[in-house]
């Protein structure tokens, strides 16, 4: 596609429910990232996928968070047993490949946990 | 101390003025420095990046880097109302993978006509 596509754009859920967020990167981009942006805070790195290599999960805040990506295609971020502090905008970004540092961000998923 | 610090603003300048946005970072070994613009409700968009000490100019935008002072700034000349947005400073630390960036909270800029 022309840009990074994320769905849904908004998600309201009840505390304790599981949610799944989707990201479709720019075609041909080998690297994919998930970031979180809490209200009034900077973007926080969550996880990074590069091709078929093992993902860098070091930014995931707890074991309730997980993400998958098959090859160089769609990624899903799953949050289990959501808590109110999980409320944030979840941004996906992709990058073309080795040596190119430019990140292209999607428009994000606004998650609200009631 | 946060990895990346920015004055949250808001910064308000008249149309045609120079807007100056500042950022400091804590890791002296940081290698790459980025400025993203984020319009309200939209995704961040890269506008400038700089690796070496000194100035880098691109149109109305100039990024300035001073590694000794751990300071990076963004100047916007001839500011326009369309420049009104939140500007995010981001840093790649030494040893971290490409794309893994540390972001400041952002500075909200308003350019009034």
What is the secondary structure of A38-87 as a DSSP string?
-TTS-EEEEEEEETTSPPB-TT--STTEEEEE-TTS-EEEEE-S--GGG-
> Along the 113 residues of chain B, how does pLDDT read in single tens digits?
678 999 878 999 999 999 999 999 999 989 899 999 999 988 999 999 999 999 999 999 999 999 999 999 999 999 999 999 999 999 999 888 888 999 999 999 999 99
Residue A71: the pLDDT is 79
- Please name the member of B4, B49, B88 whose beta carbon is closest to the beta carbon of A101: B49
pLDDT over threshold 70, residue A1: no
DSSP 3-state assignment of B81?
helix
What is the C-alpha separation between B48 and B64, in angstroms, rounded? 10
What is the C-alpha separation between A13 and A10, in angstroms, rounded? 10
What is the C-alpha separation between A23 and A74, in angstroms, rounded? 6
Work out the percent of chain A whose per-residue pLDDT is above 90.
79
Q: Residue A23 class from Cβ within 10 Å (0-12 exposed, 13-18 middle, 19+ buried)?
A: buried
- Please name the member of B45, B99, B105 whose beta carbon is closest to the beta carbon of A95: B99
Q: Mean pLDDT for chain A?
A: 93
Residue A53: the pLDDT is 87
Please give, rounded to a whole number of angstroms, the shortest distance from the CA of B44 to a CA of chain A: 6
Question: Among residues B38, B26, B24, B29, which one has the least CA distance to residue B83?
Answer: B38
DSSP classification of residue B42: S
State whether B103 and A44 contact (CB < 8 Å).
yes
Residue B1: the pLDDT is 67
pLDDT over threshold 80, residue A112: yes
**Is B106 within 8 Å of chain A by CB?**
yes
State whether A101 and B45 contact (CB < 8 Å).
no
pLDDT over threshold 80, residue A3: yes
For A38-77, write each residue's pLDDT tens digit: 988 889 999 999 988 889 999 999 999 999 998 788 999 9
DSSP classification of residue B83: G
Tokens for A84?
Answer: 């109110």
**Is B48 within 8 Å of chain A by CB?**
no
Name the helix (H) or strand (E) containing A23: strand A19-24
What is the C-alpha separation between B99 and A103, in angstroms, rounded? 7
State whether A101 and B99 contact (CB < 8 Å).
yes
Average pLDDT score over residue span A6-24: 97
Residues in B closer than 8 angstroms to A45, CB to CB, are 100-102
């Amino acid at each position: 596609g022309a840009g990074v596509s994320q769905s849904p754009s908004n998600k309201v859920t009840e505390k304790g429910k599981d949610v799944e967020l989707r990201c479709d990167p720019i075609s041909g981009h080998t690297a994919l990232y998930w970031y979180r942006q809490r209200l009034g805070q900077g973007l926080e790195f969550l996880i990074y996928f590069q091709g078929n290599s093992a993902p860098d999960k070091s930014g995931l805040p707890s074991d309730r968070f997980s993400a998958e990506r098959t090859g160089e295609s769609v990624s899903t971020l799953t949050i289990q047993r959501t808590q109110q502090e999980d409320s944030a905008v979840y941004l996906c970004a992709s990058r073309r490949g080795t040596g190119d540092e430019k990140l292209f961000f999607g428009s994000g998923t606004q998650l609200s946990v009631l | 101390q946060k990895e990346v610090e920015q004055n949250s603003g808001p910064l308000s300048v008249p149309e045609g003025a120079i807007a100056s946005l500042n950022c400091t970072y804590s890791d002296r070994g940081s290698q790459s420095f980025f400025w993203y613009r984020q319009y309200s409700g939209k995704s961040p968009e890269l506008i400038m990046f700089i690796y070496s000490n000194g100035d880098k100019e691109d149109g109305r935008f100039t990024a300035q880097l001073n590694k000794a002072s751990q300071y990076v700034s963004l100047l916007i000349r001839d500011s326009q109302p369309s420049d009104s947005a939140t500007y995010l400073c981001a840093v790649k630390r030494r040893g971290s993978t490409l794309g893994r960036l540390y972001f400041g909270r952002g500075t909200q800029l308003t350019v009034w006509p």
